[in-house]
């Protein structure tokens, strides 16, 4: 059974966070659909607020602290990314962009991405198309066609039909799942194994 590795980036600042809630629902829907398709799924959720100091220090020193380095490596090794940010001043949060800036731009090339955002009014929903998509297009990712915006009216709503938050999540997760099927152009090659010198020498010498 093939494994798909998904890193979830939540840039919410509060506890609890609506961005984290949306990220969890997107991840659960994607996991469920991938498992139905015969894949094993590993999901790693990253709260960017826990890395805020390390991210700032990275800009000043050029050095990634161990936890930040671990998260960067996880992002680079993942097959897909679910990225959710709160909206500030009609764009993604500074914390969200700062984390993206510490990544090697080439490390996201070809990765599947599902975008999400939260805000206090529906007027912010265009951030998906006018801020987040250009950013991830620049990074040469493969994005699900549907991004999910959640406003205050979406939480706890019993709305029926294609406009409900649950329906939007399922649709976006389905598109994301299809991007994760088959060979993954964004997957990083496995690191070369370092063999003992005696084993290397035996391989050069060949059988006797």
Q: Over the stretch 108-131, which tens digit does the pLDDT of each residue have?
A: 999 999 999 999 877 788 999 999
Q: What is the pTM of this model?
A: 0.86
Range of the domain at 173: 3-205
Contacts with 130 (C-beta within 8 Å, 6 or more apart), sequence order: none
Contacts with 170 (C-beta within 8 Å, 6 or more apart), sequence order: 29
Predicted pLDDT at 162: 46
DSSP for residue 189? P
The CATH number for 86's domain is 3.40.50.360
Render pLDDT for 167-197 as a digit per residue (tens, 0 to 9): 999 999 999 999 999 877 766 654 444 556 5
Determine what percent of the chain is predicted with pLDDT higher than 90: 74
CB burial of residue 119 (10 Å; 0-12, 13-18, 19+): buried
For the chain, where are the E strands, in sequence order?
3-10, 40-47, 80-88, 91-92, 112-118, 142-143, 148-150
How many structural domains are present in the chain? 1
Tokens of 133: 């998509």
Examine the pLDDT at 199 and tell me if it is beyond 90: no
Mean pLDDT of 51-62: 96
**Phi, psi at residue 16, to the nearest 5°?**
-75, 165
Give 201 or 96, the one with higher predicted confidence: 96
Residue 68: in which H helix or E strand, if any? Answer: helix 66-77
Residue 124 near residue 87, CB atoms below 8 Å = yes
Residue 75 near residue 6, CB atoms below 8 Å = no
Round to whole Å and give the CA distance between 94 and 89. Answer: 10
Mean per-residue pLDDT over the chain, rounded: 89
């Amino acid at each position: 059974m093939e494994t798909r590795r998904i890193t979830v980036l939540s840039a919410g600042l509060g506890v609890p966070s609506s961005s984290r809630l949306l990220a969890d629902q997107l991840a659960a829907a994607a996991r469920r659909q991938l498992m139905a398709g015969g894949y094993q799924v590993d999901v790693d959720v990253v709260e960017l607020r826990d890395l805020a100091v390390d991210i700032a220090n990275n800009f000043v020193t050029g050095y990634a602290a161990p936890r930040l380095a671990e998260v960067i490596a996880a992002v680079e090794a993942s097959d897909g990314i679910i990225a959710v940010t709160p909206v500030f001043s009609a764009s993604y949060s500074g914390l969200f962009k700062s984390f993206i800036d510490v990544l090697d731009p080439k490390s996201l090339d070809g990765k599947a991405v599902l975008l999400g955002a939260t805000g206090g009014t529906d007027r912010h929903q265009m951030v998906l198309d006018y801020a987040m998509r250009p950013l991830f297009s620049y990074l040469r990712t493969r994005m699900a066609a549907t991004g999910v915006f959640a406003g205050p009216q979406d939480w706890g709503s019993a709305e029926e039909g294609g406009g409900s938050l649950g329906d939007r999540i399922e649709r976006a997760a389905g598109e994301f799942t299809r991007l994760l099927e088959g060979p993954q152009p964004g997957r990083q090659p496995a690191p070369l194994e370092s063999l003992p010198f005696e084993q290397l020498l035996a391989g050069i010498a060949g059988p006797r």
